[in-house]
Structure 1
Amino acid sequence: MSITGRCRCGACTYEIAADDLPRVYACHCHICQRASGSAFSVQALVREDRLRVAGPIVIREITTEDRVSMQRFCGECLARVYNTNSARPGIAVIRAGTLDRSEELACRAHIFTAYKQAWVTLPDDVPHWPEAAPPDQFIAALMR
């Protein structure tokens, strides 16, 4: 079985070799707020070798203090679809809103909540961290 997704215009499509929808998290950092134009971004981590992308992709390299991020956008509508970065080799970060069936997703964790918008209320039963989550705790939250 596979999970599918697409950009805003449909020119770029993808398939994830998986039986279940990926688990997603919300990032409230200022970079994600600016990139999404919203209060936070919702993302899913998937193994890059399980992701197959078709259609026109434009790659934009963004270098920060400690990593290089390769952002992938649809070449037609310029919707951001996914990225990889040097801090997590072999992992693709899918923009959850590009997944087909995204309405079935449940957010499993929130990171960088020190920067969240004041009007955003986090559920009490969902783990959250004011900055980056410790990797072991973050993975445990996504897997619950």
Structure 2
Amino acid sequence: MSISGGCRCGAVRYELAIEAIPPAYACHCLQCQTWSGSAFSEQLLLREDQVSVVGPVVRYDLTTEDRTSQQRMCGTCHTRLYNTNTRRPGIAVIRAGTLDESHRIEVAAHIWVKRKQPWLALPEGARTWPEAAPLDDLAAALRPA
């Protein structure tokens, strides 16, 4: 079994070699708000070898002081599908909203909540971090129950 997704126009499709949608995290940083055009973005963390993509994918490299993020998007409609980065080799960050069954996403953690929109209420008891979560802590929060 695999989980499928793709871009808005349908030119790019992907398959995730996993049995079920893992818990996701929401990022409330200003960069994710700008990229998504919304209050936050939802991501899934997977091994890069679990992602198989077909279609016209283009890559945009965004370099900051401590890493280069390689953004993958549809070359036709420019839907951002996933990224990798030099700080976490072998890890793919899937844009959860591009899943065919995105309504099944369960957000288990929230990062950069100090930038959260003030009108947005997070679920009581949600795992949160004011900025980026330490990777081990975030991984623990995202382990399936």
C-alpha displacement of 1:67: 0.4
Q: Which residue of 1 aligns with 2:115?
A: 115
Please say if residues 24 and 105 of structure 2, whose CA atoms lie closer than 8 Å, have aligned partners that are also in contact: yes
CA distance in 2 between counterparts of 1:72 and 1:55 reads 11
How is 1:1-144 mapped onto 2 (pairs within 5 angstroms)? 1-143=1-143, 144=145
CA distance in 1 between counterparts of 2:96 and 2:7 reads 11
CA distance in 1 between counterparts of 2:126 and 2:87 reads 25
The share of aligned pairs that are identical, in percent, is: 58
C-alpha displacement of 1:22: 2.4
Q: Which amino acid aligns with 1:138?
A: L
CA displacement 1:32-68 (0-9 Å, x = unmatched): 0000011000011111011100000010000011100
CA distance in 1 between counterparts of 2:135 and 2:54 reads 31
Aligned residues: 144
TM-score (normalizing by structure 2): 0.97
TM-score (normalizing by structure 1): 0.97
Structure 2: unaligned runs, 5 residues or longer: none
Structure 1: unaligned runs, 5 residues or longer: none
Q: Which amino acid aligns with 1:67?
A: R
State the Cα RMSD in Å.
0.8
Please say if residues 83 and 92 of structure 2, whose CA atoms lie closer than 8 Å, have aligned partners that are also in contact: yes
